[in-house]
């Protein structure tokens, strides 16, 4: 069997909420607001999940973990990412690397980036060097710039699992 590589892109956004905790990359970040969502609203992890699912031709996060299903109420994004890795493996693929960007005006994410990278790498059975997490502002423009919410984008490279 010839090794096949595929690429997927993911995107997610969530509104700010005053009564939720902020979770990004599986890290609880001290901040006065969190993100609104059915699950833990971890936009970074959700974008990564969609990138992987897209790469393996398995739909999107809403297909597998619908927001109307009570089983996924407040579920950890890291748990979803573990399940997405299993979905990819079931289709004969493994994740090679992840490159992701979170777009938000505040808070600063640099102090939490290494922990995010380690969480993502752990869930995907990767070495941390194969995961990149960056944060950017939107320079005051759009819904992010107005402080209405955040967005995240991710790219995933997957390859076929070689037969042993």
Give the predicted TM-score (pTM) of the model.
0.95
pLDDT at site 69: 76
* Residue the block writes with tokens 């505040």: 106
- By three-state DSSP, how is residue 59 classified? coil
Burial zone of 136 (CB within 10 Å; 0-12 exposed, 13-18 middle, 19+ buried): middle
Number of domains in the chain: 1
Domain extent, residue 145, equals 5-160
CA distance 78 to 76: 5
pLDDT at site 76: 86
Q: Which one, of 10, 85, 7, 81, lies nearest residue 40 by Cα?
A: 81
pLDDT at site 142: 97
Contact 160, 4 (CB under 8 A): yes
Residue 118 host element (H or E): helix 113-124
Looking at the DSSP bridge assignments, the partners of residue 134 are: 101
Residue 100 host element (H or E): strand 93-103
Question: Residue 12's domain is classified under what CATH number?
Answer: 3.30.1330.50
- By three-state DSSP, how is residue 110 classified? helix
pLDDT along the chain (164 residues), means of 10: 88 94 97 92 97 97 85 85 97 97 97 98 98 97 96 98 62
> Tokens at residue 5, please?
């590589």
């Amino acid at each position: 069997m010839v090794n096949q590589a595929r690429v997927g892109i993911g995107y997610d956004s969530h509104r700010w909420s005053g009564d939720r905790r902020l979770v990004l990359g599986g890290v609880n970040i001290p901040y006065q607001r969190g993100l609104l969502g059915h699950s833990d609203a971890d936009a970074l992890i959700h974008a990564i999940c969609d990138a992987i699912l897209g790469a393996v031709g398995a739909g999107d996060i809403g297909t597998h973990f619908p927001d109307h299903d009570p089983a996924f109420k407040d579920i950890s994004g890291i748990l979803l990412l573990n399940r997405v890795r299993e979905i990819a493996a079931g289709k004969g693929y493994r994740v090679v690397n992840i490159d992701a960007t979170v777009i938000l005006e505040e808070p600063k994410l640099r102090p939490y980036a290494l922990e995010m990278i380690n969480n993502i790498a752990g869930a995907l059975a990767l070495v941390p060097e194969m995961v990149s997490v960056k944060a950017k502002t939107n320079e005051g423009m759009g819904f992010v710039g107005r402080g209405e919410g955040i967005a995240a984008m991710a790219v995933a490279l997957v390859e076929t699992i070689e037969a042993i």
